[in-house]
Structure 1
């Protein structure tokens, strides 16, 4: 079995897949902001219990690799590394943005017509975004984008692009109406799509070094020192 974790966004989710046929055995999620540290291990334990499996049945752990919430990614990374180290099983890292694309492309009619642009809110007028084909081929590498009316203008001039994720609404407000831009609401990162891509990566033996793995933060984290009273 492969256990997948998604902690890059306010949604905390886990899923369990069979490695032989990629079938989904179960999934669970919580949409409680800042709940990852207290609920992730509970979700994992409940999922295994509800599906009739134990930690000893796991052959690998797949993790949403980022970009996304710094704290969320740290929590997910620590949990995944702890499991892999304790069980002596491999760790698979899956791009958060690529997994979101797979999630959308799977339910899109004639998916080859579009490019896919997942956007995660990075505060202010910035998002973490990338561009993919329906097969997950990278057209534009994940990057922090400052949103204005000219963002992705070249791509929108030649192709229809679907925008989704909790940062897409900000771009829709800036871009306005555009004949080649489509916006999808309610798309959040999911452990299910992380697990689906994780199964494929497992069979390709694309494993991380458990000791040295760090999530793909995309940007350095800035901290400030509180002002003295």
Structure 2
């Protein structure tokens, strides 16, 4: 039975789940205003292992949310995942952050559209069907009144920037599911499990997060 460690640090939610055969057996997560992932991530990893009564050496793979999202959050999560995989000589799995968000809810018709805040009116987004399968490429989009007009039918939005999205996405077919704010390692479980059995692994030495936009340092 595969034992996977799932790490999600792309947004303000620092989330760690231990997964056995697609089922979450231990979970730790906390979303705070400031990024405290560097302090909390390894503590959460130790706690889920202790709760399940397993050792790091029992892990079969580590799955990490690959972005897009916060540069700092991505670096912390991917660095931790790569370090564990290298030390334990186990595979590294990467999972789309937007797909994790899309799989956090279920709707009967139309589309699921995750929105991750990229500051001001810009978001990271993609369109998914009601089963969480991607229908469009991931992009950085500046929201306006015409965004998503090509996708006819009900659109359900999830993510951490719904209040600003509501100011421009006002068509009656647009719905905002405010109960789904951040991606969670808990929702990674079945996605990571499927990738593990398909042997879709990353190169531990060369894997880089999906930043989507270049990182800029302001003087």
Task: Please give the TM-score of this superposition, normalised by the length of structure 2.
Answer: 0.95
Distance (Å, rounded) in 1 between the aligned partners of 2:218 and 2:135: 35
Please give the secondary structure, in 2, of the residue aligned with 1:97. Answer: helix
Instruction: Find the partner of 1:180 among 167, 173, 176.
Output: 173
Which residue pairs with 2:11 in the alignment? Answer: 9
Which residue pairs with 1:159 in the alignment? Answer: 153
Distance (Å, rounded) in 2 between the aligned partners of 1:121 and 1:184: 15
Residue 138 of structure 2 is aligned to residue 142 of structure 1: yes
Which structure has the bigger radius of gyration? 1
1 or 2, which has the higher helix percentage?
1
Please give the secondary structure, in 2, of the residue aligned with 1:152. Answer: coil
Distance (Å, rounded) in 1 between the aligned partners of 2:139 and 2:161: 13
Distance (Å, rounded) in 2 between the aligned partners of 1:134 and 1:198: 19
Which residue pairs with 2:128 in the alignment? Answer: 132
**Native 8 Å contact 1:120 1:168 kept in 2:** no
Task: Please give the TM-score of this superposition, normalised by the length of structure 1.
Answer: 0.91
How much is the aligned-residue C-alpha RMSD, in angstroms?
A: 1.0
Which residue pairs with 2:23 in the alignment? Answer: 23
Which residue pairs with 2:36 in the alignment? Answer: 35
Residues 1-229 of structure 1: pairs in structure 2 closer than 5 A: 1-19=3-21, 22-32=22-32, 33-105=34-106, 108=107, 110=108, 113-155=109-151, 158-176=152-170, 178-187=171-180, 188-225=182-219
Of residues 131-140 and 87-96 in structure 1, the stretch that sits farther from structure 2 once superposed is 131-140
Unaligned runs of 5+ in 1: none
Alpha-carbon deviations, 1:62-117, whole Å to 9, x = none? 00010111000000000000000000000000000001111112xx4x3xx12110
Instruction: Extract structure 1 runs of 4+ deviating beyond 4 A.
Output: none
Count of matched residue positions in the alignment of Structure 1 and Structure 2:
215
Cα displacement (A) at 1:170 = 1.4
Cα displacement (A) at 1:30 = 1.5
Cα displacement (A) at 1:196 = 2.1
Please give the secondary structure, in 2, of the residue aligned with 1:47. Answer: helix
Please give the secondary structure, in 1, of the residue aligned with 2:203. Answer: coil
Unaligned runs of 5+ in 2: none
Please give the secondary structure, in 2, of the residue aligned with 1:153. Answer: coil
